[in-house]
Structure 1
Amino acid sequence: MAKGEETRQFIIEKAAPIFNTKGIAATSMSDIMEATKLSKGSMYVHFENKEVLACAAVDHNMKVLGNKLHSELAKSKTAKAELFAYIDFFSNPVHPPVIGGCPLLNFGTEADDTNPIVKEKVNSGIKYNQQLLGSIIKKGIEKGEFKPDWNAEDFATVMFAMMEGGHLISRMSGNNEKMQVITKTLKNLIEENTI
């Protein structure tokens, strides 16, 4: 990696948790300069403005989250275990796998009416997660783990929405009590559809 690319990546890695914690609007280039110890001129050599850096930070946060998630899912031997691993991975929003919490929820809430580029990135992430869950269920149906009439797409939508809602409730309340209710409910629904 060339020196310029290394510096650019360094800036993204330092900026990503700040944007995910404070939000795009509340994060200033001064915040990033303080975290990186780089001058304003150095920052603008690599990113023409805050919006370009914010988009790179969104991508980075989602990539980090996705890599951690896939690492956990890869340990599972069955489709049911994969679904449970997905649930467990997101079951502690008070201490999330990515600094600042779920980037889909954080950036999606902020960008839905204000930033069409970030909105599309988040929408793609949402679709990806729903397709991932749906494909795990379909794989389980094909292998005879799950009931053949289980609607994979519908459950994937419900599961994703419940997990994101639980994340919001937990972050706002400062505890995981409601997320525990959601994870238990989802696991029971999966058990009901297990052969």
Structure 2
Amino acid sequence: MTKGEETRQFIIEKAAPIFNVKGIAATAMSDIMEATKLSKGSMYVHFENKEVLACAAVDHNMKLLGNKLQSAISKAKTAKGEILAFIDFFNNPLNPPVTGGCPLLNFGTEADDTNPIVKEKVNGGIKFTQQIVENSINKGITNGEFKPDWNASEFAVIVFAMLEGGNLIARTSGNNDKMNIIIKTLKAIIEENSI
């Protein structure tokens, strides 16, 4: 990695949590300058404008979330264990795996009407996340862990929607009570479809 690439990566790593906490619109380049201790000129050498940096920060946050999720799932020895690990990974929105909470929820909510580039990035992240669940269910059906008629793609949508909804409720209410109900419900559905 060249010195320029290192600096660019340093800026992204410092900017990513700021964008995830404050949002794209509310984050100023001065916030990033303060965090990096770099001048405005240095910032603009590496990023044409705030939007370019924001897109890089979105990518970084989603990659960080994805890597941590994959690491948690990889420890499971069965397809059922993978799905349970997936659900448990998101069980405490008040102590999220990525600073500021779920970047899919944060950036998706902000960008749905304002930023088509970020909206598409988040949509790709949602599809990727749902595919993880779908793949584990299909693997479990093949392995004889799950009932053969369990609709993997429908459950993947349900899991994602319920966990993100629970995330929103928990972070706005300041407690995990509703998320605990959601996790209990999801695990009951998994049990119903287990052999």
| Same fold (TM > 0.5) | yes
Q: Does 1:182 align with 2:159?
A: no
Query: 2:154 and 2:70 mapped to 1: Cα distance?
Result: 22
Q: 1-side partners of 2:39 and 2:90: how far apart?
A: 37
Deviations 1:140-177 (A, max 9, x none): 00000000000001111111100000000001001111
Hey, what does 1:141 align to over in structure 2?
141
How do residues 66-145 of structure 1 correspond to structure 2 at under 5 angstroms? 66-145=66-145
Structure 2 match to 1:61: 61
Amino acid at match of 1:74: S
Q: Tell me the distance in 1 between the aligned counterparts of 2:174 and 2:155.
A: 28
Instruction: Give me the whole-angstrom Cα distance separating, in 2, the residues matched to 1:134 and 1:71.
Output: 17
CA RMSD of aligned residues (A): 0.4
Separation in structure 1 between the aligned mates of residue 175 and residue 37 of structure 2, nearest angstrom? 34
Name structure 1 gaps, 5 residues minimum: none
In structure 2, give the amino acid aligned to 1:29: M
Distance, in Å, in 2 between the alignment partners of 1:65 and 1:159 is: 17
How far 1:131 moved relative to its partner? 1.2
> How far does residue 55 in structure 1 lie from its aligned partner after superposition?
0.0
4+ long deviations beyond 3 Å: none
What residue is the counterpart of 2:17 in the other structure? 17
Amino acid in the other structure paired with 2:143: K
> 1:62 Cα shift?
0.3
For the residue of structure 1 that corresponds to 2:42, the secondary structure is helix
Give deviations 1:25-69, integer Å, cap 9, x for gaps.
000000000000000000000001000000000000000000000
Residue identity (%) = 77
Aligned partners of 2:84, 2:69: CA distance in 1, in Å? 12
Name the amino acid aligned to 1:148.
Answer: P
Counterparts of 1:129 and 1:98, CA distance in 2: 15
Aligned twin of 1:192? 192
Describe the SS at the equivalent of 1:30. helix
Q: 5+ residue gaps in structure 2?
A: none
Q: How much does 1:132 deviate?
A: 1.2
SS at match of 2:125: helix
